[in-house]
């Protein structure tokens, strides 16, 4: 059962309406973070993207993310072998990472500038 956020704000006299207890934070990369916390006495695994606020320079939670209850997290962890098998069945490495790494290597080697010069030469040769 997934935890659903109620957008209606209700006044609560109890003190357990906000986050309670220590939060465990795991940085996946510069923009993604996993936070294990308790909210309204419900244990959550929050997987979320963050952005840097230009005004304050602080990391702020973005709109992209999901909060899993302990039950949903346990079900996901129990499905790890299925996820691994599905990933292994996909053909080839992730293309976006490969393209990014290949472009970075070309830039490091100066090939990106050479390629641009060749394209300009070809364009000017076709016009003449």
Token pair for residue 64?
A: 């992209």
DSSP the chain: -------S-----SSTTSEEEEEEEEE-SSSEEEEEEEETTEEEEEEEEEEE-TTT--EEEEEEEEEEEHHHHHHHHHTHHHHHHHHHHS-SS-HHHHHHHHHHHHHHHTHHHHHHHHHHHHHHHHH-
Output the domain CATH number for residue 78: 2.30.31.10
Q: Is the pLDDT of residue 96 over 50?
A: yes
Give me the domain span that covers residue 114. 92-128
Query: Tens of pLDDT along 48-91?
Result: 999 999 999 999 999 999 999 999 999 999 999 999 999 888 87
Query: Within this chain, do residues 79 and 120 fall inside the same structural domain, yes or no?
Result: no
| Predicted confidence band of residue 121 (pLDDT cuts 50, 70, 90) | low
Assess if residue 8 is contained within a domain.
Answer: no
Q: Is the pLDDT of residue 38 over 90?
A: yes
Distance CA 94, CA 87 (A): 10
Assess if residue 7 is contained within a domain.
Answer: no
Tell me the whole-structure pTM to 2 decimals. 0.53
- pLDDT at residue number 97: 62
Closest CA to 29 of 95, 97, 86: 97
Query: Within this chain, do residues 79 and 128 fall inside the same structural domain, yes or no?
Result: no
- pLDDT at residue number 91: 74
- By the 8 A CB rule, do 23 and 36 touch? yes
Q: Is the pLDDT of residue 124 over 50?
A: yes
Distance CA 125, CA 4 (A): 62
Query: Within this chain, do residues 76 and 98 fall inside the same structural domain, yes or no?
Result: no
Mean pLDDT for the stretch of residues 92-106: 63
Query: Tens of pLDDT along 7-18?
Result: 555 544 445 455
Query: Within this chain, do residues 99 and 77 fall inside the same structural domain, yes or no?
Result: no
Query: Within this chain, do residues 24 and 72 fall inside the same structural domain, yes or no?
Result: yes
């Amino acid at each position: 059962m997934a935890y659903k956020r109620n957008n209606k704000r209700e006044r609560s006299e109890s003190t357990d309406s906000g986050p309670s207890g220590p939060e465990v934070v795991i940085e996946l990369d510069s923009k993604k973070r996993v936070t294990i916390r308790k909210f309204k006495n419900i244990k959550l695994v929050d997987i979320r993207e963050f952005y840097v606020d230009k005004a304050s320079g602080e990391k702020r939670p973005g709109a992209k993310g999901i909060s899993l209850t302990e039950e949903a997290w346990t079900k996901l962890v129990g499905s790890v072998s299925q996820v691994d098998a599905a990933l292994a069945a996909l053909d080839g490495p992730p293309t976006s990472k490969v393209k990014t790494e290949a472009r970075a290597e070309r830039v490091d080697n100066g090939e990106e500038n050479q390629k641009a010069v060749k394209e300009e030469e070809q364009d000017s040769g076709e016009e003449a």
